[in-house]
Structure 1
Amino acid sequence: MGRDSYDEQLDRLTGVLATMSRDASAAIRTASTALLDVDRSAAERVLAGDAVLDRLRAEAEAMIPEVLVRHQPVASDLRLVVCALRIAGALERMGDLAVHVAKVVLMRHPVGVVPEPAVPVLTAMAGAATRIADKTTVVLATRDRLDAMQLGLDDDEVDAAQERLLSMLVTDWPYGVESAIDLALVGRYYERYADQAVNVARQVVYLVTGTIRL
């Protein structure tokens, strides 16, 4: 195959990653709507959309051996191929974590998962996770190293919100053990979602610089 065909394959690979990133961002946004608005249909949409992310990851993984076997990538292209494999995995896991949030909503529906005192902290956590996801999509498109490194700071906001949530749950929580467990799990899902988004950013930094500095 010629260089044009090779470039087309790389473009297709990066296009799949871009689509995955947009889908993972939409998943956490929709899951947060389901959680905070007690919206069953939103939760069900998250579960239905996860199959698309799974399919896209499989598509990305199927392209990589073909690129490696049929071509001799230069160093920068080889980094792209290696990073693509890691990024696809992280984006799929982000989708899975959004599904976990949605499943908690469905398990308790029509009762809401988030009692009134916890609404502000969960709203902050959901908002921060969504912003991180949106920025991840931008970073994948621009490959801006500074924007990628900024995501590490954004992740701190999610961590701080989770600490506030856990502190609330262990201090005379009046809604019972079951509610506390649900919220602790949801908080953990958001934290892990943000961590995976940061992992994507780390791969972008590696792609651009050849080193991990995030």
Structure 2
Amino acid sequence: MNRGGHDEQLDRLTGILATMSREAAVAVRDASTALLDVDRGAAEAVVSRDASLDAHRRDVEALIPEVLVRQQPVASDLRLVLCAIRVAGDLERMGDLAVHIAKIVLMRHPVAVVPERARDVMGVLTGATARIADKTALVLATRDQLDAMQLGLDDDEVDAAQARLLSMLVAGWPYGVESAIDLALLGRYYERYADHAVNVARQVVYLVTGTIRL
């Protein structure tokens, strides 16, 4: 394979990752809509579309041997391959976490999962996570180190909102144990989603610089 064909494969690899990041962002936004609006259709859509992210990860894994074997890669190519494997895993897991959120909505429907008392903090949590998702997609597209490092600060907002939620649940929660468990799980799912997004940003920094700086 000539270098032009090799570069096309690398471009395809980065293109798949970009698609995955956009789909993961849509998934968490739709899951949040389902959660806050008690929207069964949005929740079902999140679950049904998850197979696409799984397929994209398989495409990445299938493409890696082609990149490595058919032409001897340079150091930057090897970094891209290593990052692609890790990033694809993180993005697939982000999609899975959005599915977990959607499934809680489906399990409780037509009853709202989020009581009025928790709507404000859940609004902060879902909004901060959506911004992180969008920024992750942007970072993968632009490979901007500053935006990548900013994600670590954005993650702090998610962590703070999750902590507020947990404090609320242990301070005389009036809606029962089942509700408290649901919200504790939701907080964990959003927190883990943001953590995986930060992992993606770390890989972008590594891809650009050869070092991890987050």
Aligned to 2:42: 42
Deviations, residues 132-176 of structure 1 (Å, cap 9, x unaligned): 010000000110111100000000000000000000000000000
Aligned to 1:32: 32
Task: Name the CA distance, whole Å, in 2 between partners of 1:211 and 1:127.
Answer: 30
TM-score, scaled to structure 2: 0.99
Where does structure 2 lack aligned partners over 5 or more consecutive residues? none
TM-score, scaled to structure 1: 0.99
Task: Name the CA distance, whole Å, in 2 between partners of 1:144 and 1:114.
Answer: 36
Aligned to 2:56: 56
Deviations, residues 51-74 of structure 1 (Å, cap 9, x unaligned): 000000000110001111111111
Aligned to 2:9: 9
Task: Name the CA distance, whole Å, in 2 between partners of 1:154 and 1:62.
Answer: 33
- Aligned residue for 1:71, secondary structure, equals coil
Aligned to 2:72: 72
User: Is 1:183 matched with 2:183?
Assistant: yes
- Aligned residue for 1:15, secondary structure, equals helix
Task: Name the CA distance, whole Å, in 2 between partners of 1:128 and 1:211.
Answer: 27
Task: Name the CA distance, whole Å, in 1 between partners of 2:130 and 2:74.
Answer: 35
User: Is 1:160 matched with 2:160?
Assistant: yes
Aligned to 1:199: 199
Aligned to 1:122: 122
Where does structure 1 lack aligned partners over 5 or more consecutive residues? none
Task: Name the CA distance, whole Å, in 2 between partners of 1:82 and 1:201.
Answer: 14
Shift of 1:111: 0.2
Task: Name the CA distance, whole Å, in 2 between partners of 1:8 and 1:76.
Answer: 15
Single out whichever of 91-100 and 69-78 deviates more from structure 2.
Answer: 69-78
Deviations, residues 88-108 of structure 1 (Å, cap 9, x unaligned): 000000000000000000000
Identity %: 78
Shift of 1:77: 1.0
- Aligned residue for 1:95, secondary structure, equals helix
Task: Name the CA distance, whole Å, in 1 between partners of 2:167 and 2:155.
Answer: 19
Task: Name the CA distance, whole Å, in 1 between partners of 2:82 and 2:124.
Answer: 34
Task: Name the CA distance, whole Å, in 1 between partners of 2:205 and 2:117.
Answer: 39
- Pairwise CA RMSD: 0.4
Shift of 1:121: 0.5
Paired positions, count: 214
- Aligned residue for 2:171, secondary structure, equals coil
